[in-house]
Amino acid sequence: MFENPKPARVNPPGNLIAQELEARGWSQKDLADIMGRPVQVINEIIKGSKQITVSTAIELAEAFDMEPELWINLETKYRLFLARQSKENTAISQKSKIYGKAPIAEMIKRRWISAEKKLQKLEIEVCKFLGIANIEDEPYIALNMRHTQGKEPQDIALVAWMARARHLAAEQAPAKFDRLKIPSLVKDLLPLMQAPEAVAEVKTVLLDYGIRFVLVPHLPKTYLDGAVFFLDDMKRKQPIVAITMRYDRIDWFWFTLLHELAHLYKDHYAKIGFVFDGETIEGNDHSLEDEANDLAGKWLIPDEEYTRYSDKFFVSLSDIKSLAFRIGRHPGIVLGRFQRDNKIPYSRHRSMLVRVKSYLEGCIDCP
């Protein structure tokens, strides 16, 4: 069954009154005198600000020799149009607020929320996802949000990503957390750095040390590598390390993970609220980032071992393999360090930078 299309615009009955006046050569005052009404009333009816009542419809019908039903119908259609327009504008405004809080289309695509068509239900679902009472509230995690540098900020995408990571982390049951035990944690992680498939054990090790671990692919326009924050922001007893796997490489995975653990160990959260890491994240304290980078690098490759080879004028393939063997690391991790330090061009030995994402399928948030 086909529905009658809604008119894009319905004119007020006053337009027809104006046409009839013009056809007869009457002024608004003339019509006012004929109907025994004030000129102001006639003017308001023509502008549409005053409704045509049944008695007014009868008077107009007599003045213009028309049926009163015509004026009643025109008035009814016009008022119905205004009512619908007001409702649609309210819906548009409300929908705009909802879409201003989160990247709704992307969240539906990833099945973080359902494809709800009813606006009220969509609002309830988004509020629940973000942990806010109503759509007017700001998510707590957005209060100290960092902006992207050189690109249009997408704070709402970062908020949504973090909210998703929180939801997933809340389902895990870690042991008690002790920040001072992180060096022991890193020591337990080192044996896993020799083989790509060993990354599958990372989550278990982290949980044993009280750290929740989630992998949530980054949202468009976030340029995010990872983050460290807490499930209980005030007490800071339940840390979450979340990474995006934006780059599927063994060196990237391990450096990012240890970088976030370095932030946690150095208690950077207490200084700035929480830490987002990415190539264009603005607002992070560079001194804290440098400190985390330095510590992560030392954990991955001890300085005394690294300088044996990094001081060379030319670092060869055999040097990479030799250092990897000496410290028990995958060669791709060693290569990544040399490349970051501009000792080896990024175009060289790419086959060593093996992928690890397939071994993390049990950890990755998939739609």
pLDDT digits (tens, 9 = 90+) for 214-238: 999 989 888 888 889 898 877 788 9
Handedness of CA 10, 13, 18, 21 (dihedral sign): positive
d(CA 104, CA 244): 19
Q: Where are the alpha helices (DSSP H) in 100-247?
A: 104-109, 119-130, 155-170, 182-189, 202-208
* Residues 174 and 212: beta-carbon distance below 8 Å: yes
Q: Which amino acid is at 297?
A: G
- Sorted by where each starts, the structural domains of the chain and their CATH numbers stand as 14-88 (1.10.260.40), 140-360 (no CATH)
Handedness of CA 119, 121, 125, 130 (dihedral sign): positive
d(CA 299, CA 310): 16
Residue 182: partners with Cβ closer than 8 Å, 6 or more residues away? 209, 261, 264, 265
Q: What is the pLDDT of residue 333?
A: 97
Average pLDDT per run of 10 along the chain, which is 367 residues long? Answer: 54 92 94 94 93 95 94 93 82 90 94 90 94 86 41 73 94 96 98 97 98 94 86 84 94 96 87 55 66 94 94 92 97 96 93 95 80
Q: Which residue has the tokens 């707590």?
A: 140
Q: What are phi and psi of 25, to 5 degrees?
A: 75, 25
**Which two tokens mark 1?**
């069954």
Q: Which helix (H) or strand (E) holds 241?
A: strand 239-243
Instruction: State how beta strands 275-278 and 239-243 pair.
Output: unpaired
Cα 31 vs. chain centroid, distance in angstroms? 60
Give the number of residues written for the chain.
367
Q: What are phi and psi of 276, to 5 degrees?
A: -105, 140
d(CA 37, CA 192): 92
Phi-psi region of 212 (alpha: psi -120 to 50; beta: other; left: phi over 0): beta
Q: What is the pLDDT of residue 9?
A: 75
Residue 259: partners with Cβ closer than 8 Å, 6 or more residues away? 226, 277, 292, 293, 296
**Which two tokens mark 280?**
């264009």
What is the value of pTM for the model shown?
0.74
